[in-house]
Amino acid sequence: MRAKKIKEKFDLMMVYLFNSNEDIELDSDILDKCYIKDMNELDKLFQKALDDKLIKGEIIRANRINLPPSFNSLTFEGLEYVENLEEPNRDSKNIFVAFNFTDEIIEIFEKYVREAIEESGFNYVVVNQETTPHDQKITDEIVAKIKSSRMIVADFTNSSTNVYFEAGFAMGMRIPVIWCCKKGHKFSFDTGQFPHITWGEGKDLKEQIKNRIKVII
């Protein structure tokens, strides 16, 4: 397992404090749960949260000995910070669209899915060789676009392995996925635990996507 980056540790600490009782002294439990190396590293993370006015509390030093930080509560800004962790890119107007680039699916998505997204107030974002600058790798462009999107629409008709990658990457980023597949098509991998839109024609797909977008936002 790779070591957590400092920002990941900070975010884990904020979620830990959000779920903790108020007015407590932090102990080794937060080190274990948030992958924090030691109390010195915890002090640095805690001080950052104090400086950014995300929490109320203090770091106590007595006779040059660092005692466990004393946590009082999250501020309004701290609560908002944790909420934004749960909903990345909440202010983004982009919806990334992933599907198998067959003529039939392209025609349906370019018309009906585009209409569903744009009528919902978002930008329709798709990445392919035509939209990618010649000096950039298409995978880098896909990753960058997903990272900046409010959600993604992933259609598994004809079981494109690229779509599985894109949906999985979005899930890892905590970006909502709208799962779709045309009626009668089978999946390469079992994604049945996720609620799929099953569609028969473009108008049906359009309405279901619009409804799912409303639920997410």
Domains in the chain: boundaries: 6-86, 94-216
Q: Name the pTM for this structure.
A: 0.65
Report pLDDT for 2: 64
Tell me the pLDDT tens digit for each residue of 147-160: 999 999 999 888 77
Residue 115 has what pLDDT?
97
How far apart, in whole angstroms, are the C-alpha atoms of residue 103 and residue 182?
14
Contact 85/14 with Cβ under 8 angstroms?
A: yes
Q: In what order do the strands lie in the sheet with 94-98?
A: 123-125, 94-98, 151-155, 177-182, 196-199
Across residues 49-68, what is the average pLDDT? Answer: 85
Query: What's the pLDDT band for 174 if we cut at 50, 70, 90?
Result: confident
**Are residues 148 and 89 in contact, defined by beta-carbon separation less than 8 angstroms?**
yes
Largest Cα span, the chain: 73
Identical topology for domains 6-86 and 94-216: no
Q: Which CATH architecture has domain 6-86?
A: Orthogonal Bundle (1.10)
Confidence band for 134, pLDDT divided at 50, 70 and 90: low
Q: What is the CATH number of domain 94-216?
A: 3.40.50.450
Give the pLDDT band of residue 121 (cuts 50, 70, 90): very high
Sole residue written with tokens 């409010």: 150
High-pLDDT (> 70) share of the chain, %? 89
Per the model's pLDDT, the better-predicted residue between 63 and 15 turns out to be 15
Mean pLDDT for 203-216 is: 94
Among 175, 167, 181, which residue's Cα sits nearest to residue 94? 175
pLDDT at 10: 94
